[in-house]
Amino acid sequence: MNTIKLERVQYIPKQLSPGILYVTERYSVAAHLCACGCGNKVVTPLGPVEWSLSENGDLPSLWPSIGNWQLPCRSHYIISHGQINWAGAWADAQILAGRRAEEQQRQAYYAEKSQLGTFAKIWDWILRAIRKLFGG
């Protein structure tokens, strides 16, 4: 989903449709389904110190960006003239890089452990062979 349309409503409906930014002036709140398609509802309060909404026909712009760090998808985008502009690739890359480094560390740890395990088995086998040779 890369576009979003503005729909003015009196109340935010329980079931949201994708691609629609619902705005209720009465409660100064906007709501939409996360643009990544994960189906999570994103509610943004509107106000001077919160999100500011501007519109161009039925094409909404919201500022600042929508950062869904609390959602599993962690999506981050800017709604501008009805377009979803994906942002935060940098942050996502950082998160991914962090996870990858962790995973590499974990794999290195287990590789080392299993290598030690193999050494221990071989050593055990040698010891047993020696004992056999010397009638132990």
Residues in the chain: 136
CA distance 111 to 130: 28
3-state class of 110 per DSSP? helix
Dihedral angle, C-alpha 98, 103, 104, 110, nearest 10 °: 150
Tokens of 84: 């979803």
- Nearer to Zn ion (CB atom), residue 95 or residue 129: 95
Q: From the CB of 39, what's the least distance to Zn ion, in Å?
A: 7
Smallest CA-to-CA distance from 66 within 84, 49, 82 is with: 84
- Nearer to Zn ion (CB atom), residue 59 or residue 73: 73
- Nearer to Zn ion (CB atom), residue 72 or residue 117: 72
Q: From the CB of 74, what's the least distance to Zn ion, in Å?
A: 8
**In the complex, which residues of this chain contact Zn ion (CB under 5 A)?**
34, 36, 38, 73, 75
Q: From the CB of 70, what's the least distance to Zn ion, in Å?
A: 11
Smallest CA-to-CA distance from 46 within 63, 58, 65, 32 is with: 63
Q: From the CB of 38, what's the least distance to Zn ion, in Å?
A: 3
- Nearer to Zn ion (CB atom), residue 38 or residue 55: 38
